[in-house]
Structure 1
Amino acid sequence: MPPREEAIPYGSDQEYLDDVLALASLRLHREVLLTRALRGEGRQESFLGLFLTDREVETLLSEIHGVGAPDPRTGAVAAGAVEARLAAHARTVEARVRATPHALPPQRLAEHFGLSNVQSDLILYLFAAEVDQRFGRVYGYLHDDVGRKRLSGALAYRLLGRAVGSLARFRALLHPRSPLVRERLMVVGEEGTGEGLPLMERPLSIEDPVVDLLLGSPRMDRSLTGLLEVVEIPPEPGYRSSVEALRRALPETGGTVALSLTRDADGDLWAATLGEVLGLRVLAMDWRGMEGIDGPRRRTLMDRALREARLHGGLLHLRHLEDAADGALRELAPLLRGVVCLSSRRDRPWSEVGLRVLEVAPPPLSVEARSRHWARALNGGVPVARALATAYPFPVRDMETAVRSSVELSGARDDAELEAAASAACRRLAARRMEGAATRVHTPFRFTDLVLPESTMELLEELVLHHRHSATVLDDWGLARRFHQSRGSSTLFVGPSGTGKTMAASVVANELGLELFRVDLSGVVSKYIGETEKNLERVFDAASRSRVVLFIDEADALFGKRSEVKDAHDRYANIEVSFLLQKMEEYDGIAVLASNLGQNIDEAFLRRIRAVIDFPMPDAPHRLRLWERLHASDAPVHDDVDLPFLAERFELSGGHIRNCILSGAVHAAAAGSPIGMEHLLRAVGREYAKIGRPISRTAFGPWWSAVRKGMT
């Protein structure tokens, strides 16, 4: 017995695919020979003037598999030659596949989707027509209609019948719930053919992503452009223990994992760590991109996204399911297969919508971990990375995309320029995320611009220091674990209108290099039960993803002095207050409440606030400093202006003094003259009238008549 030749491994995917197509053509040739025997010789098939002879179809197949040209007398290749070549070629392909050390494309497809040999063979027959038009012509010949160039169920059964068994078992392969159809590896029928066609007569096809994978050059489904992306971020060692625990629990969960984010959790980063442990790439789909898409189209896109994940050996992460309606989640439940991460920034009724999930809560990232990711994203030094990690604890994906690209475009040359460019990019990103949730307040003010009592200034400086050094105190020194201390700074600013509360909040934001956003609480509070909480949830969710200084103004709209609950309205008002306090305590940034009436806020509320800063009405010396800002400008000022007189006589807040200076300047500009005492006093008179104070001769002195005349 001659020694068996050692099989040669396949050197490339294309070499293997050529052999597979030759094998498919030999099987088709066998079917053609059988068809010719049943039909009789010399028959031509026609469609719209086209035709394909017996000799032509055999020539086409011979060109593919190379058995030999048809006999010139009969136009046929000997059946024995085809059978012998088919058996020998099948053995060769099988031996070379075993000898190849890596998985070939059809094997990877079968492994990812758990396909049987019959299912794999059916996919290859469909693939053949996509990459070589000669197969389509042969399918038309075997259909008795050369216009039908796609494989049909009936023809596929003729080719695979011996392997699949009964017709009932084959029809099950075409059912919507079969793996091939459900996973969108095979499409049964096509638009325009109608459901009226018998199942076995409907055309079968595969879509481009499956073809590309089999060709060894996988590409993302074009219909998912802008919806699905590959997550290319490094795993996080700090998540590994929770991921390993989850991996051990996966067999008990049915394969679907709901990733319920804690305040500091990074969903993509956690999914990347899980993907590394499972040996899978991570593909992320943002649910917000599905808004406005109708149900059937949304289901199709979800099917394709799940197919993409499995085609590429990936793990699908569905982000921002907090924006999905319960009905959409109910549609999603039966579509999910395998291991899928679902992330939402609020609790969702997973079990109520039919999802069996395993809830996980990734631990918050430490400043050290965030610094490491910042340093990698920006190729920056440790001091820069730590400063950014402290000020902007953004998800790693944001560091890797929006922020890094902005920094690269900036051309930063040293650490200082790098930090400035990254901070500016972070502020722009924060502003985009807060759009629609709150109003941006942009001012250039710093501490030197404030005119406040020394005690108030000290508390404001302490607020800045607390936030700036919280990472050192809570993380490096371990006091967060010791005292269970939150990272946020919930602060109450109390004082009459115009005493500098908004300006002080902007100074705090500017000192920390953060954006300031104002929320008018009077516009958030709703008379409808539950709506106030939803509005507040939206604001704090946006803020937590942006890490801005949140200035909640007009707190008196919600915080009255709480008394004994007498009816449902009182009880609901208390619920709203408690909800806001809860969100402030959970927020890791700076949240400032502003109230004009401190006496209306009860002690139970004050106990849950970290700091209370008082903004009193300015006394005469402070008022004089506020009036003196007039001389610090470029405006022309008349010699008759008596600023000490204005400061001593008129008890106005800083906001009111600003209004008087601007109003007086406008009237002076209109008269074409410098700003004079009469302009300013008339402005004071208008301000007094606006706030309901009397214009007395005692206060205005010698200018009383001029002021009265100017207001009549």
Structure 2
Amino acid sequence: MLALLVGVSTSPLLSRALREAWAEPSRRALPLGLMALLLSDVSEVGGHDESMALLLGRGTLFRCGILQRVADGHARCEQDVFVSESALDWLCGANLSHRDYLGVLGEEPPERHRRALGPALRQLTANKAPIRATICGPEGSGRLAVAMQLAHMLAPDAGVFRLALDRAQRRGAIEEALATARTFAVLTGALVVVSGADVLADVRQATQEAVVDAFRELPVSVVWIVDSLSSEAMKAMAVHPEHVLRLTAPTRAERADTWRAALGDLLDGDAISRLSGGFLLTEGQIVQASREACASQPTSVSEPSDRFEERVAALARGVANTGMGALAQPEPCKFGLERLVLEPETRTLLDELVAYAKHRNALASRWGFDGALSYGTGVTALFTGPPGTGKTLAATAIARELGQELYRVDLSQMVSKYIGETEKHLGALFDAAEQGDVVLLFDEADSVFGKRTEVKTSVDRYANLEVNYLLQRIERFDGVVVLTTNFEAGIDEAFARRIRFRVAFDAPDAEARCALWRALMPGDVPLALDVDLPALAAQFELSGGHIKEVVLRAASLAMASSESVSQKHLERSAAAEYRKLGKLLPANMNRANPERTR
């Protein structure tokens, strides 16, 4: 039937003969009724069913857009049927091009994936039925390369068509993108690779179900590419658990090999070791950072190796979606402990923490403390105190002192409402962190490391299992974990006993506040003669984080009015910060501005 319609579109004589057979030579296309009659005559087995499917506008060719009909108010048998323009061009020998057609096998997956996934790929392709599978792993881990390898095993010359749901969603063109992918895949046999579902937020499940419906019962293989996978998402994608291919993060040794291959002799072994230990990147991210670093090298002068290493590290930090996927992100460590304004006792505890972290392995192996360290040599620290007192900044300073990268854990990605998913996320996080020299930061840790509850419901039981699992992974982790909380009483007692360092960050007194005002005021800011920082410190009881906001707001006001920063700007901004925090203004400000208290 398809060959006949192509012939009608390209041969005037055949087109005229068939129109006259319908006794309507003036028609410009063939009617559905004539095509149904011809189909029932030439097909002895199932001809009636196929004719009825044609008349009803059903079947693969209609669903994928290769055949189209004109519903112009005529009886169904009188409606025109024809081959779409793109399909006709391809069937007549023209190249079918599209920006989302990625071609046949390009860059091969990393060797570790080829070894680990070989049996699973062969099992997937052993069945002749269309494939429905998911490739789960962090960006840059070789997900697309694995999909192209799978497409090559299915049909060496068909290639891959990428259906980018995030891009289609931004354009409001999901249905159009689905129609294009269906037509292209049925014509060419290409594997459809669906990406971008992770960023669809509230519409993710509905969009995934729409994709499943669009390819249902079509002879098209569909593979999903995702960063993370929950049981609900797997159900929405209609993928069986045994058809999920999980790509793990590379080990430290594998990262070192990739850095070495990408940079050649531009960096020595020690620098390669620092990069591979500090940045939990995938092979694709390492290659990207290396290419950008090499492309931006100055050509006129020779660049010192330490400066080149700094540029590579900055680029690595920029591309890092990390081997932890979306669970954690690297934080810049700009300042050391010497730049922080801290109480003497707090500074002493932080110095002890750094000293232990640097020498813990020697203490265990050379001085015999391995038997006394019942919870291993890992470093666990709990920073407590009001908001804005410098807990997070101190964590970044510690990472800088240790020469390590700090990764802030995204608790919104970590905690799942689905049973068992939180443990999976925690397992992925610690598995990746164990492959490098990194500091893990859990902000607002009481939301994850909270007290276990009395088991009254199944929900309580599973919540307690999550805390138990956390305790086990913390004990086994040989790195540095810093937890911050504004509510120390909310931390689980069993976990609190395992914390080696508890550091309190109290609200600063007037003297410390004055030092913070000076430290947080950049030297290039033009100050008016009336600025009195000790007076501000005495008047406004603010922590460092809030003082930083006041300084920035006051500088913005001054720049907008082309003035130097004055006491008026600073007091006005400090009062706004007080109101934001829900605090009462100082009494002297209320007397000077009585209208603000009304």
What TM-score comes out, normalization by structure 2 length?
0.60
- 1:209–1:219: 8 Å Cα contact kept in structure 2? no
Aligned partner of 1:319 in structure 2 is 195
User: The residue matched to 1:193 in structure 2 has which SS?
Assistant: coil
Q: Deviations over 1:415-447 (max 9, x none)?
A: 87876666666656669xx9x999999895455
Q: Among residues 83, 96, 99, which one is paired with 1:205 in the alignment? A: 83
Could you tell me which amino acid in structure 1 is paired with residue 495 of structure 2?
F
Aligned partner of 2:151 in structure 1 is 275
- 1:317–1:342: 8 Å Cα contact kept in structure 2? yes
Aligned partner of 1:456 in structure 2 is 350
Q: Gapped runs of 5+ residues in structure 1?
A: 1-121, 467-484, 696-704
Q: Among residues 226, 231, 238, which one is paired with 2:112 in the alignment? A: 238
Task: Give the 3 Å change call, closer, same or farther, for CA 193–612 of structure 1 in structure 2.
Answer: farther
Task: Give the 3 Å change call, closer, same or farther, for CA 455–217 of structure 1 in structure 2.
Answer: same
Aligned partner of 1:89 in structure 2 is none
Q: 1:642: how far off? A: 11
Q: 1:342: how far off? A: 2.8
Q: Among residues 146, 166, 175, which one is paired with 1:288 in the alignment? A: 166
Q: Matches of 1:215 and 1:586 in 2, distance apart?
A: 62
Aligned partner of 2:201 in structure 1 is none
RMSD between superposed Cα atoms in Å: 6.8
234-243 or 578-587, larger mean C-alpha shift: 578-587
Q: Deviations over 1:29-74 (max 9, x none)?
A: xxxxxxxxxxxxxxxxxxxxxxxxxxxxxxxxxxxxxxxxxxxxxx
Q: Matches of 1:342 and 1:665 in 2, distance apart?
A: 49
Q: 1:245: how far off? A: 0.8
- 2:134–2:245: 8 Å Cα contact kept in structure 1? yes
Task: Give the 3 Å change call, closer, same or farther, for CA 673–176 of structure 1 in structure 2.
Answer: closer
Q: Gapped runs of 5+ residues in structure 2?
A: 199-203, 361-375
- 2:333–2:406: 8 Å Cα contact kept in structure 1? no
Could you tell me which amino acid in structure 2 is paired with residue 238 of structure 1?
R
Task: Give the 3 Å change call, closer, same or farther, for CA 508–347 of structure 1 in structure 2.
Answer: same
Aligned partner of 1:601 in structure 2 is 491
Q: Matches of 2:517 and 2:391 in 1, distance apart?
A: 18
- 2:382–2:503: 8 Å Cα contact kept in structure 1? yes
Q: 1:219: how far off? A: 1.2
Q: Matches of 2:273 and 2:25 in 1, distance apart?
A: 69
Greater relative contact order (CA < 8 Å, ≥ 6 in sequence): 2
User: The residue matched to 1:499 in structure 2 has which SS?
Assistant: coil
What TM-score comes out, normalization by structure 1 length?
0.52
Q: Matches of 2:92 and 2:30 in 1, distance apart?
A: 18
Task: Give the 3 Å change call, closer, same or farther, for CA 630–306 of structure 1 in structure 2.
Answer: closer
Q: Matches of 1:146 and 1:461 in 2, distance apart?
A: 94
Q: Matches of 2:410 and 2:491 in 1, distance apart?
A: 19
Q: 1:495: how far off? A: 3.5
Could you tell me which amino acid in structure 1 is paired with residue 391 of structure 2?
K
Q: Matches of 1:507 and 1:204 in 2, distance apart?
A: 69
Q: Deviations over 1:583-638 (max 9, x none)?
A: 99999999854213435423333478798665467799988965764899467799
1:509-524 map, 5 Å: none
Q: How many residues align?
A: 534
User: The residue matched to 1:288 in structure 2 has which SS?
Assistant: helix
Aligned partner of 2:69 in structure 1 is 190
258-267 or 419-428, larger mean C-alpha shift: 419-428
Q: Matches of 1:495 and 1:451 in 2, distance apart?
A: 15
Q: Deviations over 1:356-399 (max 9, x none)?
A: 56233334333455566678889995768877665555566667
Q: Among residues 224, 239, 244, which one is paired with 1:359 in the alignment? A: 244
Aligned partner of 1:504 in structure 2 is 394
Aligned partner of 1:341 in structure 2 is 223
Q: Matches of 2:49 and 2:589 in 1, distance apart?
A: 99
- 2:450–2:491: 8 Å Cα contact kept in structure 1? yes
- 1:438–1:539: 8 Å Cα contact kept in structure 2? no
Could you tell me which amino acid in structure 1 is paired with residue 29 of structure 2?
R
Q: Matches of 1:259 and 1:299 in 2, distance apart?
A: 22
Q: Matches of 1:587 and 1:271 in 2, distance apart?
A: 34
Q: Deviations over 1:288-345 (max 9, x none)?
A: 3454899xx8567446424434544533222355533374466357246454323442
Q: Deviations over 1:239-283 (max 9, x none)?
A: 123432124423359442422525686432332333344454333
Q: Matches of 1:213 and 1:588 in 2, distance apart?
A: 61
Which structure has the bigger radius of gyration? 1
Q: 1:510: how far off? A: 7.8
Q: 1:501: how far off? A: 1.1
Percent identical = 24
Q: 1:463: how far off? A: 7.6
Aligned partner of 1:171 in structure 2 is 51
Q: Among residues 215, 219, 231, which one is paired with 2:93 in the alignment? A: 215
User: The residue matched to 1:365 in structure 2 has which SS?
Assistant: coil
Aligned partner of 1:118 in structure 2 is none
Q: Matches of 1:268 and 1:623 in 2, distance apart?
A: 53
State yes or no: 1:126 paired with 2:1: no
User: The residue matched to 1:219 in structure 2 has which SS?
Assistant: coil
Task: Give the 3 Å change call, closer, same or farther, for CA 570–123 of structure 1 in structure 2.
Answer: closer
Task: Give the 3 Å change call, closer, same or farther, for CA 180–448 of structure 1 in structure 2.
Answer: same
- 2:386–2:506: 8 Å Cα contact kept in structure 1? yes
Aligned partner of 1:261 in structure 2 is 136
Task: Give the 3 Å change call, closer, same or farther, for CA 610–624 of structure 1 in structure 2.
Answer: same
Q: 1:198: how far off? A: 1.5
Q: Deviations over 1:474-497 (max 9, x none)?
A: xxxxxxxxxxx9xx9986433444
Q: Matches of 1:616 and 1:632 in 2, distance apart?
A: 24
User: The residue matched to 1:215 in structure 2 has which SS?
Assistant: coil
Task: Give the 3 Å change call, closer, same or farther, for CA 509–137 of structure 1 in structure 2.
Answer: farther
